[in-house]
Each structure stands twice: as C-alpha cells, then as structure tokens.
Amino acid sequence: MKFRVIEHTADIGIEVEAPSLSELFVGAAEAMMHIISPAASKKGKPRPIYLEAGDVEALLYSWLNEILFIVFSEDIIPSVFDVAIINERALKAEIRGEPYAQGRHELQTEIKGATFHEMNVTEKDGRWIARVIFDV
Amino acid sequence: MEKEIRKLSRFKWELPTGYKSGMRVPGTIFADEEFLEAARIDGALEQVANVAFLPGIVERSFAMPDIHKGYGFPIGGVAAFGEDGIVSPGGVGFDISCGVRLTKTMLTEDDIMGRLENLVDLLEAKIPKGLGAGGKISAAEQVLKKVFKSGGKAAIDLGYGREGDLEFTEGGGVYTEADPSCVGKRAFERGRNQLGTLGSGNHFVEVQLVEEIFIPGTAEKFGLFEGQVVIMIHSGSRGVGHQICTDYLQRMDRESQKAGLDLPDRQLSYAPLDSAGARDYLAALACAGNYAIANRQAIMHWVRESFEVHFKTAERKLGMDLLYDVSHNTAKMEIHEVKGKRLRLCVHRKGATTSFPPGHEGVPREYSEVGQPVIIPGDMGSCSYVLVGTARSMNESFGSTCHGAGRTMSRSKARKTIRGDELKKRLGGKGIIVRAGKPSLLAEEAPEAYKDVSRVVDICDGAGLSRKVAKLRPLAVLKG
C-alpha cells in the first residue's frame, strides 16, 4: 500500500494504491489518519464495524466518515485497521486505537468530512487506486 | 454556441451556457482579470459551471471575488433555486453556518496597548480552542434540543450574553425552520461538549483596531469610529454541522444514485425542494445554524468576561455591544424579485455573505436606514473589513457578497514553504500578538496563503455588491 497527498487549494486529498480492495480501504484509513494524527501507537481495544452502501465509492465514503466520527466524537486515535471486504457494497472491519492523550498524540489537522468530490475507486491490472478529497 | 468567457463590465464576467454542455443557465463571476484567471486554473470556474447543471436554478450560477476551488460548489458560490428546484448539502458544506461576529467597545488603542499580553492571556484561558479541546459547557440532550431549536436565545438563557444581542444577529439569532428530530444521534453526540469552542483551521478570535472609515454616516450608525478597539469572532457549528452534512450527503447520494441522476460531480447530489429529504435537511441545517450562533454567542460572552476582568469594569460600561453576527455557509428560503415577480427561493451561499440593502426586512431596525453590516474576516497579517449591503446586490447576486480573502495556496504547500515560528516573529515585528497551537498550523494560515482581502472587497465595492465602511487591523490573534 502506498499513498500520496493531493494538493487542493482549500482542502486536502489522498491517492492510495493497493493490491486488493481490502488493503485499499486500510490504506485510505491510514492515509487519512496520517493527515489527522500521524505515528500513533498500535494499541487499543478492538472495535467491530459493519457497513453497507450502494456502491464501492459510497462504501469508502461511509468507511472514512465512520472513522472520523470515532476520532472526533470519542477522542480515539485509531491506528490499526483490519478490513474484510464482503463485496463492493459491504465490509466488516475491526479497528484499534487509543484514547487521545495530549503529549502522546499529535493532532495536526481537523478533517471535517470525506467528500464525494472527485472520488473514485478503480482497478487496473490487479492494482486498486482510490482518490478522496477531504474538507479541512 | 458561445464557449468563451465574456466580460460584461469591469468586474463582471459571464460563463456562457456553452462553456460546458449541460449548463441550464449561464454563470456570473465577479472578479478582476487576475482572480478570474486564478479561478480558471484551479478548477473553480468548472465548479461554477457544474452548479449551473442543477434543476430549478434561477437566473445564474454566481461566484464572488474570493472564489476558489471547493468540492461540489466553489467557495464563493451562490445559487438560488425555485419551487421546482433543489437543495444540495454540497452547496453549503460541512461547516454549516460558519460565520463571523463583531463586538464593539468604547476603548481606544491607548487604553489597550502595553497591557495587551495580559488581556490575551485571559482570552486564551477562557476560550477553548484548537483540536482536541473540549468545551466548558456540557450540553445534555435536553439542552442541545433547546440550542438546536432556538440558537442565540438558548445561549442567552444559559447565561451567555444579553437579550439585546439577538437583534444584532442575522435572523434575530434563530433559524426558525429548525427541527431537532431531523438531527441524527451522532450529531447530538458530537454537539455535547463542543458548544463554546473555537475549533481549528481558519477560526479565530481577534482583537482589532478600526484603522480607517470609508462611509462616516454608516460607520456612525454601526457605532464604529477610527481608533476604536473591536473584537472579531470567526467560528461555526463544529462537529454538529460536520456530522449533519456527512449524514445528509450520504442520504442524498443514495437517493440520487437510485434515481439515476447524471451529476457532473457526485458531491452535488441533491433533493427536490418538495421532497421529505429536502425538508429534513433544511430542518437539520437550521439546527446546525442555531448551534453555530449559540457557539459564537458563548465565545463572545467569554470575551466580555475577559475584558471585564482586565479593565475591572462591567462590559456594558466598556460598550461591548454586538455590531452584527452573520453566517457565510448556508442555504435559506428567501423572497427575491425575479423578472418583476416575487419568488420564494432556496438561496445557497457557500463562502458568501448576505448583503441586504437599506429597508430590507432582514436588516436590524437600528441599521434599516443604511443596510446590513457585512463582516469580512481577512488573514491575520493584514486586515479585515466591515461592509454594508446594497440594493444593487439584490439585482446582481440575490443579495450576496464575498466572505473573506479566499485561499490561493494549498495548506500542504503553505506548510512546506512557510515556517510558523518565523511567521509568528514577522507578525510580532508588526506589533501583532499571535497565540496559536502548533507552528505548522499557523503556517497554513499565513497571509501569503490567501488572496489580498483589500482587493476582494474593492471588487465587491466596484461591482456594487457591497460598500466598504471600515477597515480593521489586527492587534492580537487567537488561533484555533
């Protein structure tokens, strides 16, 4: 999995590449957390997640916004993501993270939401690529 | 069919329907040559064109001079929709009812200089700011419902402010269409401990000085004079707005996909105005708007308290009256005259401010003769403005004008090219006290990352969308 940050005048985006859809979703979550709070520890209580959506882009939207809710409402900094893609419209996942603690975690950027703007998820020759723009 | 952008007047350009196939109406961009070119390069003009695709759009898709690329709508975008039209969460954004308020004082520079650091210490201690900062108000569900329903009044009932503040808040301090039952559980959760918090990014509290007056009569009506100390607060609806936008985008996306809508940008999913989806979204948006007003009301209360402690004088005696509070990310039902007919329209303003003329029902009675105050926050190194609404804006842009400077540089580029600690030193050299979280966050908000706000307001003035009343310069900045 690799990712790069996309330049956008007002906001920020990510482009992620991975060998499978599950890894793509893991990569997108890690890239987003890299923007919010990089280098968190790999500890924490596991938390199960199940999501359904109309298509793979909407599933990615739900996944990233689910994580944002956990970060900004429960003050948890997730760092480990296990994702099992059921099909392009549903996933099961387990995420792990620690409660935010000043000094241990560095909060860099508040992401207000993952948007549908210019969002796409594509597969070519066994490589999956996703692009997401965030409102910051 | 005409495809090229056409100059209509000095600061007004037309994006013809031929610019992009699918546009129902032309676009109008208020800009000079340089801002127009910048908007073309960063893709914002394409977004003006995309908005013109939406059903029921009335007259034109507009862009204010602070236009830059957003998601869905451009920032600086204005669009109105008739009864056969739509509402789109992408036309408002995540920070619903983000806005600014300006509090006056009777103090002058001499009263404040020398001891300003101490005052800023007090402000910093009282106002929660930045990421991860919880609020001091714990709002249980019943309290939140009141805030969602009645906005500024709920904050005042909780002890944050005085009754007279409401008259000087847009809409009397309340979005009347609010219905808390349209707000999801998650938005309630996020609202619990964020009331009275500044947030991060471009949100701030600034102590400013009135540097120049352009229209003395209007300034006098607003209670402004040269050399006066004023306080500007810029914040929004915090996690409540973010979550409401997230939830309704998801719902409208699902419905738009199901209906097989062909959208130029998926972020522009919408609901027809006569649908349950639109009614629910507008009722939830109103709750976020009320939360935002209550949020700024609580912050202003702590500003007043800080001044009281610092000057050992009651805030009323210090003349700490609210000049005005106005939002720049909204969708509201408003009456506008179109081709001689009075129509009820859903006006989206994403990074744009109302600019109502003298005598308009939306203007506080005290300002009725001169028009609505428009508060324009600039970047922290230069200046901010107070403008006044005009009759011309009602004909030109559904009563709208700009909202700020508008970014020109991405946040990551700003971080790479500007050092926060050096910037702080540079601002300090200009006599501006800066209190911010991390230096990198400060760098993102550097003056060079923004357009020149003076040019933005000059274009608005030149195009007749609003008139310049006063220029304010920063003395101290509290950044989220």
pLDDT digits (tens, 9 = 90+) for A44-78: 889 999 999 999 999 999 999 999 999 999 889 99
* Digit-coded pLDDT (tens) for B14-23: 999 999 999 9
Instruction: Reply yes or no on whether the pLDDT at B331 is more than 90.
Output: yes
Share of chain B above pLDDT 70, in %: 99
pLDDT of residue B472: 98
pLDDT of residue B132: 64
Contact B348, B58 (CB under 8 A): no
Judge: B68–A10 Cβ closer than 8 Å, yes or no.
Answer: yes
> A8: which chain B residues are within 8 Å (Cβ-Cβ)?
69, 410
Pick B170 or A73 by higher pLDDT.
B170
Q: Nearest by CB to A116, which of B44, B249, B412?
A: B249
Judge: A54–B257 Cβ closer than 8 Å, yes or no.
Answer: yes
B202 in contact with chain A, both atoms CB, cutoff 8 A: no
d(CA B79, CA B397): 9
Average pLDDT over every residue of B167-176: 98
Mean predicted lDDT score pLDDT of chain B: 95
Q: What is the least distance, in Å, from the CA of B94 to any CA of chain A?
A: 6
d(CA B364, CA B359): 9
Judge: B267–A136 Cβ closer than 8 Å, yes or no.
Answer: no
Specify the length of chain B in residues. 480
pLDDT of residue B173: 98
What part of B 58-77 touches A (C-beta under 8 Å)?
68-72, 75
Judge: A116–B267 Cβ closer than 8 Å, yes or no.
Answer: yes
d(CA B470, CA B222): 10
d(CA B407, CA B479): 17
d(CA B44, CA B372): 28
Judge: A7–B72 Cβ closer than 8 Å, yes or no.
Answer: no
Measuring CA to CA, which residue among B468, B207, B202, B227 is closest to residue B351? B202
Residues 6+ apart with CB under 8 A from B474: B206, B207, B208, B380, B381, B383, B384, B432
* Digit-coded pLDDT (tens) for B209-231: 999 999 999 999 999 999 999 99
B260 in contact with chain A, both atoms CB, cutoff 8 A: no
What does DSSP say about strands A12-18 and B99-108: parallel, antiparallel, or unpaired?
unpaired
The C-alpha angle with vertex B329 and arms to B193 and B22, in degrees rounded to 5, equals 135
* Beta-bridge partners for A73: none
> B407: which chain A residues are within 8 Å (Cβ-Cβ)?
9-10
d(CA B273, CA B84): 7
pLDDT of residue B380: 78
Contact B243, B187 (CB under 8 A): yes
Residue type, B40: R
> A119: which chain B residues are within 8 Å (Cβ-Cβ)?
266
d(CA B330, CA B328): 6
Q: What is the least distance, in Å, from the CA of A74 to any CA of chain B?
A: 8
A57 in contact with chain B, both atoms CB, cutoff 8 A: yes
A9 in contact with chain B, both atoms CB, cutoff 8 A: yes
Q: What is the least distance, in Å, from the CA of B44 to any CA of chain A?
A: 10
Least confident of B269-278, B377-386, B469-478: B377-386
Interface test with B, best of A108, A112, A121 (most B CBs within 10 A): A112
Residue type, B78: V
Q: What is the least distance, in Å, from the CA of B138 to any CA of chain A?
A: 14
Instruction: Reply yes or no on whether the pLDDT at B359 is more than 80.
Output: yes
* Beta-bridge partners for B229: B209
pLDDT of residue B221: 98
* Digit-coded pLDDT (tens) for B113-133: 888 999 999 999 999 987 766
Q: What is the least distance, in Å, from the CA of B273 to any CA of chain A?
A: 21
Average pLDDT over every residue of B305-332: 98
Q: What is the least distance, in Å, from the CA of A54 to any CA of chain B?
A: 7
User: Which chain A residue's Cα is nearest to B413?
Assistant: A7
- How does DSSP assign chain A, residue by residue? -EEEEEE-SSSEEEEEEESSHHHHHHHHHHHHHHHHS-S--S-SEEEEEEEE-SSHHHHHHHHHHHHHHHHHHH-EEEEEEEEEEEETTEEEEEEEEEEP-BTTB-------EE--TT-EEEEETTEEEEEEEEE-
Contact B406, B456 (CB under 8 A): yes
A35 in contact with chain B, both atoms CB, cutoff 8 A: no
Q: Is B403 a catalytic residue?
A: yes
pLDDT of residue B133: 65
d(CA B291, CA B238): 9
Judge: B253–A11 Cβ closer than 8 Å, yes or no.
Answer: no
User: Which chain A residue's Cα is nearest to B73?
Assistant: A117
A118 in contact with chain B, both atoms CB, cutoff 8 A: yes
Q: What is the least distance, in Å, from the CA of B238 to any CA of chain A?
A: 9
The C-alpha angle with vertex B465 and arms to B461 and B469, in degrees rounded to 5, equals 50
Judge: B411–A136 Cβ closer than 8 Å, yes or no.
Answer: yes
Measuring CA to CA, which residue among B48, B71, B42, B69 is closest to residue B60? B48
Judge: A112–B413 Cβ closer than 8 Å, yes or no.
Answer: no
pLDDT of residue A102: 79
Q: Nearest by CB to B190, which of A72, A133, A135?
A: A72
> B132: which chain A residues are within 8 Å (Cβ-Cβ)?
75, 100, 102, 107
Mean predicted lDDT score pLDDT of chain A: 92
Q: Which of B301, B310, B348, B403 is catalytic?
A: B403
Instruction: Reply yes or no on whether the pLDDT at B149 is more than 80.
Output: yes
Q: What is the dihedral of CA A14, B191, B156, B470, to 10 degrees?
A: 0
> A5: which chain B residues are within 8 Å (Cβ-Cβ)?
412
Judge: A5–B412 Cβ closer than 8 Å, yes or no.
Answer: yes
The pLDDT-based confidence of B458 (bands split at 50, 70, 90) is very high
End-to-end CA distance of chain A: 24
Instruction: Reply yes or no on whether the pLDDT at A7 is more than 80.
Output: no
* Digit-coded pLDDT (tens) for B383-411: 999 999 999 999 999 999 999 988 888 87
A70 in contact with chain B, both atoms CB, cutoff 8 A: no
* Digit-coded pLDDT (tens) for B237-294: 999 999 999 999 999 999 999 999 999 999 999 999 999 999 999 999 999 999 999 9
Instruction: Reply yes or no on whether the pLDDT at A10 is more than 90.
Output: no
User: Which chain A residue's Cα is nearest to B66?
Assistant: A10
